Structure 1
Amino acid sequence: MGKFIKKICLCIGAVVIGLASALTMAATKAYAADYYISTTGNDSNSGNLKAPFASIAKAQAVASSGDTVYIMGGTYKKFNIAKSDNVYNYVVDITKSGITYEAYSMSDMPTFDFSNITTSKRVAAFRIARGVTDVTITGINVTGVPVGTQKQSECFRVEGNVTLNRVTCHDNAANGFYFVNHGTGTCYRCDSYNNIGVKGISMGNTDGFGAHGEGVTFKECRAWNCSDDGYDCLTSTGTNTFDTCWAYNMNAGGDSNGFKIGGYAMGTPPAVAPVHTVKNCLSASNGAHGFYANHQPGKSATWTNNTAYNNKFGNFDMLERVSTSDATDIPGTREVLHNNISFGGVALKDANLPNENVTDNSWNKSGVSVTADDFQSLDASQMTRPRGKDGELPDITFMHLNSNSDLNGLGCF
């Protein structure tokens, strides 16, 4: 009997412990919650679909990791500055990890218009704060970010970790996407265009995409008509990947490269400079270089199956520096280029590469030549056409090879 009673007590104890544990878990987080914001919402509301909040700030305050904040369509123009320091006004300051911010309907994507924000300091319209991870932002437009007399402003300043999906930054006086310091993440099917700074002040600091942090992946992104570079890796300490991305018409007054992959300028490079990946990308009609190694102190990238057209200072420029400790410029000796196409400009410059590093490109593959007849179209403006219904790159004929071209198998199409 004693053993039987003891066994019953043990069972009851286990049940009590299990129940207590379940209650604790339930109290902590029973399930992921959904919240909503609307241009007609109120931050005194409950935040549900029928009574949405008015601001991301309020939604973030009540949300927890794993939750989703749905953003209703319309234009958001009323903002309070969430935080300031000596240099920046941070308008929408993301300080919690693990939250998703998503358009309620991808057919009615919301717009955030920051044109009324003061320029007493640099503006960071959205900031992903240092140490914040696993944030996702999907399906929004950002416009009107001002710069005033500041050196630069940013639509997205990423110091933490974020995935940006189908996000567009357009018609700003600010960088579109700016990963800096410890910033990491992914830009997928994002666009950055008509972002132009002030002449003599910020024009040369206004890129479409800036990868200056610890490593970013860009896939199926586009940049056009920005006043500095389409994509810029200056001072990056991490490895960046550019896959099926486009750059067009950087001619507004800054450096004007399509893809500027590398370099540290006056900054101190890491002991071993990162090596980036540039593949299946298209760069056309830019005021400087199409693809540029930009004084990298070592190998800048592996460049594979890219297409460059009519870039003013050269389609592929592989300029390097001797090492991280010797800033002397040299024609690149370490770059790797395979299966690329160049047309309408200098194919390859500032390169002193071993033969095995440069194979099967349009300018050195045996038995091929490049003429206008190889391509279905030379109308680069097609690169700015609207995206498909799921955010896919538009269906274009520009630089697509004709079926009888001897270049088939090369380039990005």
Structure 2
Amino acid sequence: MARALLSSAVIVSVLAVVTGPTTAYSAPAPHKPHPAAAGVYYVAPDGNDSAAGTKDSPWASIAHAQTVAEPGNTVYVRGGTYDYTHATTTCTSRTARVDAVTLDKSGTAGSPIRYWAYPGEVPVLDFTGMTDDCRIKGVDVTGSWIHLKGLEITGVPQNNTLNHESWGVWNSGSDNTYEQLDIHHIMGPGLFIQGGGGNLVLDTDSHDNYDPNSSSGAGTNADGFGAHIPANNPGNVFRACRAWNNSDDGFDLINALSSVTIESSWAWSSGYVPGTATRSGDGNGFKAGGYGGTYVTGGVKHTVRRSVAFGNRAAGFYANHHTVANDFFNNTSFANHPDFNMLGVSPTGEATGLGNLRNNVAYGGTPTSNMTGTDADHNTWDLGTPLSDGQFQSVAATGWDAPRRPDGSLPDLPYLRPTTQSDLIDQGTPVGLPYKGRAPDLGAFEVS
């Protein structure tokens, strides 16, 4: 589904009780057009790369804009559809990787290069028509200090059956920001962090991704979001993101050797061919790590907090044979099987439970599995909290894909939020996240 993603203000203040004050982040300036001036350029579907690049005489392509843009510059991308039919290079083999849009020019700290949707408009980068017979990256960001905002990205195909997946957005640079992107119908992961540190994925949706031609089997690699980053690349954060109707997992951190934080994010309906009840892929909401099912040295701790998983075919929150205990704080898992699966692996290669779990809610599915060995306290299953539909304002499974607020933040919905009389209120323990009342509430939502 294509939706306009409007401008964003700072979510740190708007969603303070949701996100917590941990990873440092300075929000971008309000999303308003700069006056016509040097360093402000425009791209439009009916533009011309030989034009001046002004609002009245825009360029035709982001590729051309990049050749001109310098640190601190803003490129406004006007609404409409930008059709891509071929990559920037030819396929050297049927398993090679090619790009349709390559962003390899970097900004600097405090002066990123911005590629922003023009306010009130939705630029659609449509890669459906690409015919390259190899692996395709829709937008390949190899530079650093780049800020993409308000773009819709769709249709990256798999044009043979020799590869696992293609990608909507591929990142290997550092200190980039991906804000208010709507990524969908990709034959592979929507947004994938392959390398680099300090990247922020903010207020972004990735949905309806399905890889029918994957060499490992149809539907086995199309995650909403993935971060499989090497060591020494800290600081990657997914904040206030949504993943739904993806044939594999919502969020996947397998093989990540640098810590990743996922916060205030939602994942649902993973593990099905989009729009059907046909089983496909792994089907976890949040797959928080793992290294192929074996023990490896150098494993790192990931953090998943203030997040919601529901209606996924497999686990809501899954350790996935991870080698260290991840932090799972103040999450809500509803109608998953199981809600929390803490399957880890010990240095001897044996299965064990691994995870630090606090203030979590498990309801409506199989609550837990592989908990022996975990550090779990002040969760609904530890406390024996009485759970019923009446503890929540709503347990509806529809409507979670509602339009975001005008500033790009998550919609204000009643779903799985405790009522003011709920037994979930003030039953948690402090974990460094803000709360109201005498103690934190259980689950992802703090009731004021």
TM-score bracket, normalised by the shorter chain, equals 0.7 to 0.9
> Is 1:91 the counterpart of 2:111 in the alignment?
no
Identity score, percent: 34
Comparing 219-228 and 69-78, the one that deviates more: 69-78
**Is the alpha carbon distance of 1:160 and 1:83 closer, same or farther for their aligned partners in structure 2, counting shifts above 3 Å?**
farther
Unaligned runs of 5+ residues in structure 1 are: 1-30
Q: Which amino acid aligns with 1:191?
A: D
Q: Deviations over 1:293-336 (max 9, x none)?
A: 0001122x111110000012x0000000113xx4332233xx11
Q: Is the 8 A contact 1:157 1:180 kept in 2?
A: yes
> Is 1:362 the counterpart of 2:389 in the alignment?
no
Q: Is the 8 A contact 1:32 1:66 kept in 2?
A: no
Question: Which residue does 1:208 correspond to in 2?
Answer: 224
- DSSP 3-state at the match of 1:330: strand
Question: Which residue does 1:305 correspond to in 2?
Answer: 330
Q: What is the Cα-based RMSD across aligned positions, in Å?
A: 1.8
> Is 1:285 the counterpart of 2:299 in the alignment?
no
**In structure 2, distance between residues paired with 1:199 and 1:377:** 38
> Is 1:234 the counterpart of 2:254 in the alignment?
yes
Higher strand share: 1
- Cα shift at 1:88: 0.9
**In structure 1, distance between residues paired with 2:311 and 2:209:** 17
**Is the alpha carbon distance of 1:183 and 1:268 closer, same or farther for their aligned partners in structure 2, counting shifts above 3 Å?**
farther
Q: Which amino acid aligns with 1:319?
A: L
**Is the alpha carbon distance of 1:199 and 1:376 closer, same or farther for their aligned partners in structure 2, counting shifts above 3 Å?**
farther
Question: Which residue does 1:15 correspond to in 2?
Answer: none
Q: Which amino acid aligns with 2:335?
A: N
- Cα shift at 1:233: 0.2
Question: Which residue does 2:206 correspond to in 1?
Answer: 192
**Is the alpha carbon distance of 1:362 and 1:200 closer, same or farther for their aligned partners in structure 2, counting shifts above 3 Å?**
same
- The 5 A counterparts of 1:12-411 are 33-78=39-84, 80-84=86-90, 86=93, 87-98=96-107, 99-105=113-119, 107-129=120-142, 132-148=143-159, 149=161, 150-161=163-174, 162-182=176-196, 184-198=198-212, 201=215, 202-213=218-229, 214-215=233-234, 216-252=236-272, 253-265=280-292, 269=296, 271-299=297-325, 301-312=326-337, 314-323=338-347, 326-332=348-354, 335-353=355-373, 357-365=375-383, 368-408=385-425, 409-411=441-443
TM-score, structure 2 as length reference: 0.79
Comparing 84-93 and 220-229, the one that deviates more: 84-93
- DSSP 3-state at the match of 1:205: coil
- Cα shift at 1:360: 1.1
Query: Whose Rg is larger?
Result: 1
Q: Which amino acid aligns with 2:191?
A: F
- DSSP 3-state at the match of 2:64: helix
- Cα shift at 1:136: 0.5
- DSSP 3-state at the match of 2:400: helix
**In structure 2, distance between residues paired with 1:378 and 1:81:** 45
Comparing 206-215 and 93-102, the one that deviates more: 206-215
**In structure 2, distance between residues paired with 1:350 and 1:309:** 18
Paired residues, what number? 370
TM-score, structure 1 as length reference: 0.86
**In structure 1, distance between residues paired with 2:213 and 2:402:** 28
- Cα shift at 1:251: 3.0
Q: Is the 8 A contact 1:204 1:255 kept in 2?
A: yes
Q: Is the 8 A contact 1:235 1:267 kept in 2?
A: no
- Cα shift at 1:223: 0.1
Q: Is the 8 A contact 2:303 2:328 kept in 1?
A: yes
**In structure 2, distance between residues paired with 1:32 and 1:275:** 45
- DSSP 3-state at the match of 1:83: coil
Q: Which amino acid aligns with 1:407?
A: L
**In structure 1, distance between residues paired with 2:294 and 2:137:** 23
Q: Which amino acid aligns with 1:318?
A: M
**In structure 2, distance between residues paired with 1:50 and 1:174:** 37
**In structure 1, distance between residues paired with 2:115 and 2:227:** 22
Q: Is the 8 A contact 2:84 2:128 kept in 1?
A: no
- DSSP 3-state at the match of 2:398: helix
Higher relative contact order (CA 8 A, sep 6+): 2
- DSSP 3-state at the match of 2:147: strand
Q: Deviations over 1:122-180 (max 9, x none)?
A: 11000012xx2101100100011111323200001111122100011012222100011
Question: Which residue does 1:6 correspond to in 2?
Answer: none
Q: Is the 8 A contact 1:295 1:321 kept in 2?
A: yes
- Cα shift at 1:183: 5.8
Comparing 287-296 and 376-385, the one that deviates more: 376-385
- Cα shift at 1:199: 6.0
Deviating beyond 6 angstroms after TM superposition, the runs of 4 or more aligned structure 1 residues are none
**In structure 1, distance between residues paired with 2:213 and 2:44:** 36
**Is the alpha carbon distance of 1:266 and 1:331 closer, same or farther for their aligned partners in structure 2, counting shifts above 3 Å?**
closer
Q: Which amino acid aligns with 2:442?
A: L
Q: Which amino acid aligns with 2:314?
A: A
Q: Is the 8 A contact 1:36 1:71 kept in 2?
A: yes
